[in-house]
Amino acid sequence: MARGNLCSQCAVRGSALCCALSPEQLAAFNRISYRKHYPAGRLLSHIDQEDRFANVISGVVKLTKALPDGRQQIVELLFPSDFLGRPFGAGGYAAEAASAVELCCFGRRQFENLMHEWPGLKQIFLERTLDEIDAAREWMLLLARKSASEKVAALVLLILRRMQVGCDAPTAGPRTARFDLPLSRSEMADYLGLRIETVSRQLARLRKTGVIEIPQGRTVVVRDLAALERMACDLTPGR
């Protein structure tokens, strides 16, 4: 729990909610926030229970919903600069660190008050929330209508896009890329509405057709990005 970090030097300064804050506001925000590290697999539910919210600084967080009988579904993946928490209401999700995670934490009430004091903050929070709805609906389309192979291709593409933001952002992305999946096969299945074996088989299929390589467990090399986009029925042209 390291306080004293300077928000102005934060890795997600320009992309998280805080990008809407003036220097003075940022200084005020700096005073009420603190950083915290979590290992992969750690439950973050206490974040909600202790009335805390957070920004993801590094790593990936998964939000899951479950049925009483154990069936479960990841309903969102949070990447660096994403917001974690459910203001003005309950929630009902479980949050868990999918990889090692660094969070920027702050009090629920404090944040809600700041939103009322600083209209710019509420505005950008609202816009992000609307974007989240768009993303959720896009995923509904995937869950309901896409085949297993389309689903897996779409997920690889999603991770590729979200991970390479920040590291390097060439105007026109490269046609090939290498990265590590932040999810286990089981988590991929939980996000895609599939079984782990199906995910494995579809990844093998992508590998056999030369679209990707999997030199080692979680490492993926995209050989043919265009083909991957085609297979994913991707509609969002390189954001």
Q: Which residues sit at the interface with DNA, rule CB under 7 A?
A: 147-149, 184-186, 193-201, 203-204, 214, 216-218
Task: With both helix axes pointing from N to C terminus, report the angle between 185-192 and 148-164 in degrees, rounded to the nearest 10.
Answer: 110
| Helix, coil or strand: residue 218 | coil
Output the smallest distance, CB 162 to DNA, in A.
18
Output the smallest distance, CB 123 to a second copy, in A.
8
Question: How far is residue 82's CA from residue 103's CA, in Å, rounded to a whole number?
Answer: 10
Q: Which does 148 bind (CB under 5 to 8 A by kind): a second copy, DNA, none?
A: DNA
**Residue 65 binds a second copy (CB under 8 A):** yes
Output the smallest distance, CB 86 to DNA, in A.
28
**Residue 237 binds a second copy (CB under 8 A):** no
Radius of gyration of the chain (CA): 19
| Sequence-separated (6 or more) residues with CB below 8 Å from residue 10 | 16, 18, 57, 104
- Considering beta carbons, is residue 128 or 195 the nearer one to DNA? 195
- Considering beta carbons, is residue 127 or 197 the nearer one to DNA? 197
Check the CA dihedral 204-234-179-96 and report its sign: negative
Output the smallest distance, CB 75 to a second copy, in A.
4
Query: Considering only residues 91-150, where is the footprint of a second copy by CB under 8 A?
Result: 91-93, 116, 119, 122-123, 125-127, 129-134, 136-141, 143-146
The structure tokens listed for 51 are: 């009335």
Helices (H) and strands (E) counted in the chain, each on its own, are 8, 10
How many Cα neighbours within 13 Å face the side chain of 23? 0
- Considering beta carbons, is residue 145 or 175 the nearer one to a second copy? 145
Output the smallest distance, CB 216 to DNA, in A.
6
**Residue 19 binds a second copy (CB under 8 A):** no
Extended strands (E) in the chain: 34-38, 52-58, 61-66, 72-78, 83-84, 94-97, 101-107, 177-180, 212-216, 219-222
Q: Which does 204 bind (CB under 5 to 8 A by kind): DNA, a second copy, none?
A: DNA
Site residues (CB under 8 A) for a second copy? 63, 65-69, 71-73, 75-76, 86-89, 91-93, 116, 119, 122-123, 125-127, 129-134, 136-141, 143-146, 192-193, 233, 235
